[in-house]
Amino acid sequence: MFVEGKVIVVTGGGGGIGRALALNLLEKGARVAAVDLNEEGLKDLQKAARGYGERFYMHVMDLTDKTALNMLPKIVENNLGTADGIINVAGIIQPFLKVSELDDETIKKVMDINFYGTLNMIQAFLPGLKKRPRAHIVNISSMGGFLPVPGQTVYGASKAAVKLLTEGLYSELKDTNVSVTVAFPGAVGTDIAKNSGVDVPPQEGTKQHKTLSPYKAAETIIEAMEKNKFRVLVGSDAKVMDFLYRAMPKRATNMIAKKMASLLEKQHA
């Protein structure tokens, strides 16, 4: 589905990939509703989108509030028109701790935002999307959604759930007007750790790999959306690890575990 002239709802629009997606979509002629709990981030995006006039709309919302979220399709329609697509970006990571060290509240928060927030958006918007001539759903999983990362196991589980939710949704909608894409970003230069309230200790003596810019990630995701791709790997690291994990899952798992060992040790220092 080409985005020009379409109404697209982007969650997590207050920063990172969500912000970059909103601005990129506006540049391509779309009308964009940016949704986030981060009001300050949305206001900053609103300033950046000032030149696009009435094609931009921001809405502060908690995606785990299903009652409020069910009203969002009508709110978007009243401000921009009926939604043609949704891009579910909003997500948080967990503290860099092992599963046995995580409290129930943290686990629930990660699952509520990453998985249930995505599911709530789909359930709220899907009835309207089915009535559009062409529509599209993009869900952002993660490289951690197909490759286990010690210290981010619950986060990975939430993103693996998004992966299978999206693939199942694709199967259910493949003969309809609604296309579905799942995206797997690797390391992208965002403030997800800060926004998640997570402190990431520096890894001394470890080679720091260059992260992909949020804008480049957004370009890749929108291109996949316009080409109706089933899945898209965002960044060279995601592509490499996808290949390795398919070919040698145990070896790839052990390699990531080795890289993460020093970070987990620092959390207990």
pLDDT per residue as tens digits for the range 72-118 = 999 999 999 999 999 999 999 999 999 999 999 999 999 999 999 99
- What pLDDT score was predicted for residue 158? 98
**Residues 10, 34: contact at Cβ < 8 Å?**
yes
- What amino acid positions are annotated as catalytic residues? 155
Q: pLDDT digit string (tens) for 193-223?
A: 555 555 555 544 445 567 899 999 999 999 9
The pLDDT of residue 195 is 59
- Per-residue pLDDT, 227: 98
Bridge partner residues of 185 (DSSP): 234
Neighbours of 43 (CB within 10 A): 12
In this prediction, residue 209 carries a pLDDT of 62
- What span, in angstroms and rounded, lies between the C-alpha atoms of 47 and 140? 25
Q: Please check whether the domain covering 7-267 is classified as CATH 3.40.50.720.
A: yes
In whole angstroms, what is the distance from residue 33 CA to residue 47 CA?
Answer: 14
Q: Which residues of the chain register pLDDT less than 50?
A: 203-206
CA 72, 89, 23, 85 dihedral sign is negative
* Residue spans per domain, the chain: 7-267
Region of 53 (left: φ > 0; alpha: ψ -120 to 50; beta: rest) is left
Q: How many CB atoms lie within 10 A of CB 158?
A: 29
